[in-house]
Structure 1
Amino acid sequence: MNDRYDGYDQQSYELVGYDESGQPVYRPVRQAPSYEQNSAYGYGYDPYATGQQPPQQQPQQPTAYDPYDPYGAAAPQRTEQATAYIPQQAPPQQPQQPQPPQHQAPPPRAPQQESDYRTEQFQFVEEPDEDSEDVIDWLKFTESRTERREEARRRSRNRGIALVVVLVLCLVGGVGYLWYQGKLPFLSKDSGTAGTAAATGPQNRDVIVVHLHNTKGGATSTALLVNNTTTKRATTVLLPNSLALSGEDGTSTTLAKSVDEDGSSGTSDALDTLLGTDIEGTWRLDTPYLNNLVELVGNIEVTTNTSVPDPAKKGTVLVHKGADQTLSGPAAVAYATYRGKGEPQTAQLERFGQVMQGVLRKMSSDPQAATTTVQTLAQILDPSLTEKDLGAFLAKLADRAKEGDYRSEVLPVQSGGAISRSTADSVVENVLGGTVKAPADGDSLRVGIENATGDRSRTEKARVALVNGGYTFVSGGTGTTVATSRVTYADAAHKNDAVEVAKTLGLPTSAVTKGKAERNADVSVVLGRNYTGR
């Protein structure tokens, strides 16, 4: 800022404010000339008289006076109260054009508004171009972020593809499992040629016999628990107490008598002989243990076919008739042993079968857990059946029951306790898979007798004759009356045995032929009217 020199002895400036950019604005202050004796030009010098310019005086920095200095000396520091300055006087030198004072940072002002900024608060830099390092870094960041987004999209697509593949594999595996279990109606492995081969080919069955002893009523109920490991199905075959068996001495007896008199071992052997099965063990289940077993598995659900009164409280109902009835231990025992007035024993057997199937549905399919349940019963088992073996066997049956591959059926017998041929074909052959085993050394030949004479008493005559001859009698029931008796063997090794059987029964040797024998006998005999029973 240039100010015209107006002939005064000294030019002074005072601060009047600040411009829009924050720079200080000064104005000149006119003062009377004052020269000291040591001035270079002497007293009363007029610079315009000689045509010379007055000496140029260097402007001094504005100096604020301390209001507390009694002599008015200039304070070296700035204060908030300083609003003007007076430059120090110096002796004139060469005449020069006076210059405005150098800018000095104004004293700090009290903060006003949020938008009142000072210049020194900012630092200005040049505008970066595309080649600057900041721009390059920004471009790199943008590119890396784009790449991350693309990578995330690729990972998402890969996860989606992997999920689809897993779902397809699960679907295929599930269909394969259902096919393997034979639960697909049109793709079952048991359908078509494969199913026929499985049904007619060799099959493996695990069989145990269970005897339910009613400790209060004294009656017994017997069933065969069958696990067909070939077809993956299980069955409870309920055996009536009237079923005719051969005793250990060859005498005729019933199942009920055999259980009471011959015990588990003798009954098991008699059933093996009659049905052609291979019973692996006997499970004696007294009603108190059945009560505990139901309680251990957490009660059972049964669709009951009758109401059962409470034996402990007369006039009250312990089990109600209806679908999906929850039975506790005492209720399950009462229902399994209940036989209504005038009902056949088969009706009670069916209820026993329902309770056993309900227990199996609630039992664990894990062999170890099932074994623990058996051990908790603390019952004394037959030596031929250990707790571990029974637990593993029940676990397999439980698996079948939960999958719906389980059924119960009563073995039908005739009035005399014999098994008819139709029964042998439908139950003994298909369910039990009765097969003739090669007799061990010392075992007697098994001879099946079917009475077709029209006289039931002749069955007992034939039985006595065979037992006395050292043979094992196997009842084949009764059939349609025929005129001529016949003796049949299936294995050529038994041809001579068949001839001896014919002689023992008083039949001609011409009656001996090779053909199909009963599945549970080495030699089969059909007694016709020509058999006299001598």
Structure 2
Amino acid sequence: GWLWYAGELPFLDGPGGKKAAATSAGAQKRDMIVVHLRNTKRGGSSTALLVDNVTARQGATVLLPNTLAVAKEDGTGTTLGKSVEDGSIGTREALDTVLGTRIGGTWRLDTPFLERLVDLVGGIEADTDTAVPADDRARTPAVGQGPRQSLTGAMAVAYATYRAPGEPEARQLERTGRVLYAVLRKIPSDPKAAATTVESMGQILDPGLDAQNLGGLLARIGAHAKTAAYRTEVLSVKPDGGLTDEASKKTVKELLGGTVTAAQPGAAPRVGLKDATGDEKAQIAAKAALLNGGYAFVDGGKADRPAPTTQITYQDEGQRARAVEVAKTLGLPETAVKKAESTVNADVVVTLGKDWKPS
């Protein structure tokens, strides 16, 4: 569920509340970047989207599990964690394909730079859900448990990256989210001052996201955090790496605005494939046919139960002709196409049934 890091629900009566209610989630203007927090001592990474909802005047952190299924540039499947670990330059584009978003830049935040950032803003205050023991070998300090803990840079890194044995990844991601929220609350609200803070980190940034742009975005999102107009959510992912139905409906569509209309102009149509055959060979063959047809592939995972017949669905009337083309690509008649709600975040969704055979 939602993690509300403040003692009040944002914008029930606040400025912009009526405006936000009057504008559909998908139509709202959002600026967002992806942050990869990379642990240089122990390895591994945590990924988050920082979102400035300009229309609703709200900010958000959406934390993305490393098990999230994404596509490599050649169309083959991988996980978000592996993509980040491999240093893939296509990670941002792969996330845009899965989520239907328009991520404006990538911020690779290695843990020494997070430590420096926290110290630059004078330390942070966070509600910690667990105590973190000191690690003399890794030279990491202990962190106490409880509300309003004062954390230095080193303590913030220790807490943000801590995952106890046997804990699910979501718990560690929530800790990363708490630290990011606390940092944003301390970022100067003046864009120039925020840019100076970013520059003082001494970090080499992504060419498309310089200190001025990053500082400006952090200042705007930080302003939302300071007034409690902020939400933090861990994206819910199924065991096979696909988005859960709840994640598609709530987080992706409402918080990220990742509807089919968010696809890049001129980009390849996004086609989701949900396997209801139970036959891995059929699923692989259908995926290959879609990729060869020039479509951007979105992995919809496995259906809850097998389906006897294949269905191709679209939600927006403007996508019907595209859905018919997808049917032809898979050798299916136009009767397989129908308008329906879908839990897969794509322009057109193929639910592959037992009747489908590779041509």
The normalised TM-score by structure 2 is 0.88
Tell me, in whole angstroms, the C-alpha distance in 2 between the residues paired with 1:246 and 1:480: 22
Residue in 2 aligned with 1:347?
Answer: 171
Tell me, in whole angstroms, the C-alpha distance in 1 between the residues paired with 2:183 and 2:317: 46
Equivalent of 1:225 in 50, 59, 63: 50
Bigger radius of gyration: 1
Residue in 1 aligned with 2:326?
Answer: 501
Q: Is the 8 A contact 1:421 1:476 kept in 2?
A: no
In structure 2, the CA distance between the partners of 1:346 and 1:460, relative to structure 1 (3 Å rule), is farther
Kindly report which structure 2 residues correspond to 1:18-417, keeping only aligned pairs within 5 A, or say none.
Answer: 182-184=11-13, 190=17, 196-200=21-25, 202-263=27-88, 265-312=89-136, 318-417=142-241
In structure 2, the CA distance between the partners of 1:463 and 1:197, relative to structure 1 (3 Å rule), is same
Q: Which moved more, 1:357-366 or 1:471-480?
A: 471-480
In structure 2, the CA distance between the partners of 1:452 and 1:498, relative to structure 1 (3 Å rule), is same
Q: Percent identity?
A: 50
Q: Is the 8 A contact 2:41 2:138 kept in 1?
A: no
TM-aligned CA deviation for residue 321 of structure 1: 1.4
Q: How many residues align?
A: 348
TM-aligned CA deviation for residue 241 of structure 1: 0.5
1:531 and 2:356 are equivalent in the alignment: yes
TM-aligned CA deviation for residue 493 of structure 1: 5.5
TM-aligned CA deviation for residue 256 of structure 1: 1.2
The one-letter amino acid paired with 2:17 is D
Tell me, in whole angstroms, the C-alpha distance in 2 between the residues paired with 1:397 and 1:338: 25
In structure 2, the CA distance between the partners of 1:456 and 1:227, relative to structure 1 (3 Å rule), is farther
Tell me, in whole angstroms, the C-alpha distance in 2 between the residues paired with 1:318 and 1:459: 48
The one-letter amino acid paired with 1:237 is V
Residue in 2 aligned with 1:147?
Answer: none
Q: Is the 8 A contact 1:449 1:524 kept in 2?
A: yes
Partner deviation per Cα, 1:444-476 (whole Å, 9 max, x = no partner)? 332112233455665444322312332221122
TM-aligned CA deviation for residue 385 of structure 1: 0.3
TM-aligned CA deviation for residue 353 of structure 1: 0.8
In structure 2, the CA distance between the partners of 1:281 and 1:314, relative to structure 1 (3 Å rule), is closer
The one-letter amino acid paired with 1:219 is G
Q: Is the 8 A contact 1:421 1:479 kept in 2?
A: no
Residue in 2 aligned with 1:42?
Answer: none
The normalised TM-score by structure 1 is 0.61
Partner deviation per Cα, 1:87-132 (whole Å, 9 max, x = no partner)? xxxxxxxxxxxxxxxxxxxxxxxxxxxxxxxxxxxxxxxxxxxxxx
**Secondary structure of residue in 1 paired with 2:171:** helix
Tell me, in whole angstroms, the C-alpha distance in 2 between the residues paired with 1:486 and 1:513: 8
CA RMSD in angstroms, aligned pairs only: 2.6
Partner deviation per Cα, 1:354-399 (whole Å, 9 max, x = no partner)? 1111111111111111111001011000011010000000001111
The one-letter amino acid paired with 1:497 is R
In structure 2, the CA distance between the partners of 1:459 and 1:299, relative to structure 1 (3 Å rule), is farther
Partner deviation per Cα, 1:272-300 (whole Å, 9 max, x = no partner)? 01100000000010111011001001111
Unaligned runs of 5+ in 2: 1-9
Tell me, in whole angstroms, the C-alpha distance in 2 between the residues paired with 1:302 and 1:219: 23
Tell me, in whole angstroms, the C-alpha distance in 2 between the residues paired with 1:190 and 1:257: 40
**Secondary structure of residue in 2 paired with 1:385:** coil
Q: Is the 8 A contact 1:309 1:315 kept in 2?
A: no
Q: Is the 8 A contact 1:484 1:527 kept in 2?
A: yes
Unaligned runs of 5+ in 1: 1-180
The one-letter amino acid paired with 1:182 is F
